[in-house]
A and B are shown apart, each in its own frame.
Chain A
Amino acid sequence: AQSVSQHNHHVILSEAASLELGCNYSYGGTVNLFWYVQYPGQHLQLLLKYFSGDPLVKGIKGFEAEFIKSKFSFNLRKPSVQWSDTAEYFCAVRNNFNKFYFGSGTKLNVKP
């Protein structure tokens, strides 16, 4: 079965620390990859997406992610987090049948 794994369930960082959230997926075909952010009490918002081309994609709010096809990974990074980045982050994959799979989420807590 296809799946998306986010290995870090809860991450606590101090402001200005660097962030890397892991995401691995299991699907051998063509995929589109996404990272979404969910602030408390809100719906999911797109941070960034990868469809093709440069495997290093830049998103909003200083986030970026790198698609490594050989590792089936799409890790999210930010060089310096802020308190306002406190949220839950979801990795998602769309396969070529247009089905979406989401990871279980990573809660990020940034201490001021």
Chain B
Amino acid sequence: EAQVTQNPRYLITVTGKKLTVTCSQNMNHEYMSWYRQDPGLGLRQIYYSMNVEVTDKGDVPEGYKVSRKEKRNFPLILESPSPNQTSLYFCASSPGQGSNQPQHFGDGTRLSIL
């Protein structure tokens, strides 16, 4: 089954404790992206990746890191989480540029930073 898998689904942690949210897709998609969803703000793109070893900042990259060492994985790293990063996070993937296919979204990760 084609899917985007995020882990964990829920996490409560404390300020400053490094955490990683994993994202994996099994569709051989070139493009992957991370969003955060906040009430009244919709989805805002954090980082995206056009292919392996190619990453770019989205609209709200501050406080986040990503890596794309393999095509299927695109982890989101919070080196020193802060309470303003409490949010619902979605990973998404799609075929590469020029494709007419939309993004597929994961089920979301709800992060609470105390």
* Nearest-neighbor residue (CB-CB) of A96 within chain B: B97
A101 near B: Cβ within 8 Å? yes
Bitwise interface map of B from 18 to 55 toward A, beta carbon under 8 Å scored 1, else 0: 00000000000001010100001111110010100000
| Interface contact A90-B42, CB-CB below 8 Å | yes
A77 nearest CB across to chain B (Å): 19
A12: Cβ under 8 A from any B Cβ: no
Q: A105 to B35, alpha carbons, bound, how many Å?
A: 14
Task: Establish whether residues B102 and A42, one from each chain, have CB atoms under 8 Å apart when the complex forms.
Answer: no
A43-B107, A98-B31, A98-B48 known; A104 vs B40 contact (CB < 8 Å): yes
A63 vs chain B, min Cβ distance (A): 14
- What is the size, in residues, of chain B's interface with A at 8 Å between Cβ atoms? 22
Chain B nearest CB from A8 CB (Å) reads 13
Interface size classification for chain A: 20 to 34
B33 touches A100 (CB 8 A): yes
A61, CB-defined interface residue at 8 Å: no
Q: Give the docked Cα–Cα distance between A36 and B92 (Å).
A: 13
Q: Which residue of B lies closest to A4 (CB)?
A: B42
Q: Are the C-beta atoms of B58 and A49 separated by less than 8 Å?
A: no
Q: Chain A's nearest CB lies how many Å from the CB of B103? A: 7
Residues of chain A with a CB closer than 8 A to B105's CB: 36, 43-45
Cross-chain contact B100 with A32 (CB below 8 angstroms): yes
Interface residues of A (CB under 8 A from B): 4, 6, 9, 32, 34, 36, 42-46, 49, 51, 90, 92, 98-105
5 further A-B contacts with Cβ under 8 Å, apart from A46-B102, A49-B100, A90-B43, are: A36-B105, A45-B105, A49-B102, A101-B45, A104-B42
